[in-house]
Amino acid sequence: MFPKNAWYVACTPDEIDGKPLGRKICGEPIVFYRGKDDRVAALEDFCPHRGAPLSLGFVRDGTLVCGYHGLEMGCDGKATGMPGQRVRGFPAIRSYPTIERYGFVWVWPGEADRADPAKLHHLAWAESSEWAYGGGLYHIQCDYRLMVDNLMDLTHETYVHASSIGQKEIDEAPPKTVAEGDTVVTSRFMRNVAPPPFWKMALRGNGLADDVPVDRWQICRFTPPSHVLIDVGVAHAGHGGYDAPAEVKASSIVVDFITPETETSIWYFWGMARNFRPDDAELTASIREGQGKIFSEDLEMLERQQRNLLTWPDRNLLKLNIDAGGVMSRRIIDRMLAEEQQARQARDGDPAPARPAVIPIAPASPAASAQAAA
């Protein structure tokens, strides 16, 4: 299950350059294209004539034309024409609210009358010339919540990413997790450690020595419905770590927009935004390549995990203090799901459902429990 009354990244603008794009979002088959005045439109990917996918058609003068028999569709979902036929009486198909902002196309797959642009997560770095961004897209066969779990507990880096960003000190530095309204923040700080290979490359890219001890930080922020932004970086040890001056550190924001496709598959828009040497295109490409390899290492683990969970659906999973970020994020998702279901029940005149049960964290020790709740 996934909340539908929320903004999700649907695609990047280049994916709809001159052609329609078919993509399933939260179980909804949708076609995206540029309509009149170059604005992004989103319709059901279903031609009302014979049911063909509209995404197999083409765009002509801002009008989506079905590739089967030439039915022309307006951005509001109404048929506007067809060679030799009268079609304006056709019932409209569904249209979806969209926003093009921050270098992405966002879609609201839920109730259109509840789509509020003010609810789109603000990305200050995406509007600043002092930041550079590079990223990509992976199609992964897993429940979107498994990816949220993965990103809110970076303990796995020591094992899954041993050759790039992993190091034993991650295991040794206890995380702290707090909730700030609908935002969940899990932070971990490591002091006087050796920089792993990826961060050595980032230090060199910023003109800094890569063979000295560093202070390292990871601050993961979940915001609904399924966005995780991670403030990461290293600074030469002894200069204040996260608060060190810019001339002795390399820091970035790992960008993770997780868009459910189905119950067991996602569109994963990943990237890294940095505020050092933003005009260095070669550095942007190098960091993007490194990040792409790191994220690809998660892919097999998550897909195999999903297959295991489908094979043994009744197996209980352990939850430790390191899982606090994922557990608290799921509580917010569960609440949103319950609220949407209650709203539907009220609208349809059915009794309100019970709230979903939340499994508490089972910490490794009383001390760990106290730390996770801090």
Given a contact cutoff of 8 angstroms between Cβ atoms, the answer to whether 96 and 111 are in contact is: no
What's the pLDDT tens digit per position in 75-101? Answer: 999 999 988 888 888 899 999 999 999
pLDDT of residue 350: 64
Beta carbons within 8 Å of 138's beta carbon, 6+ residues apart: 267, 268, 270, 295, 296, 299
DSSP state of 55: G
**How would you label 54-89 residue by residue, b for 16+ Cβ within 10 Å and e otherwise?**
bbebebeeebbbbbeebbbbbbebbbbebeeeeeee
pLDDT of residue 319: 83
Alpha carbon distance 13, 98 (integer Å): 12
Alpha carbon distance 331, 266 (integer Å): 20
Given a contact cutoff of 8 angstroms between Cβ atoms, the answer to whether 108 and 115 are in contact is: yes
pLDDT of residue 26: 98
Q: Which residues of the chain have pLDDT under 70?
A: 350-374
pLDDT of residue 369: 39
DSSP state of 166: -
Question: What ranges in the chain are assigned the alpha helix state H?
Answer: 144-152, 157-160, 168-172, 197-205, 281-311, 324-348, 366-373
pLDDT of residue 240: 95
Alpha carbon distance 112, 46 (integer Å): 18
pLDDT of residue 374: 34
This prediction's pTM: 0.90
pLDDT of residue 162: 87
pLDDT of residue 273: 96
Q: Which of 177, 246, 181 minimizes the C-alpha distance to 218?
A: 177
pLDDT of residue 349: 76
Given a contact cutoff of 8 angstroms between Cβ atoms, the answer to whether 45 and 31 are in contact is: yes
DSSP per position, 301-336: HHHHHHHHHHHSTTPPPP--GGGHHHHHHHHHHHHH
DSSP per position, 116-159: -GGGSPP-GGGG-TT-EEEEEEEEE-S-HHHHHHHHH-GGGHHH
pLDDT of residue 366: 38
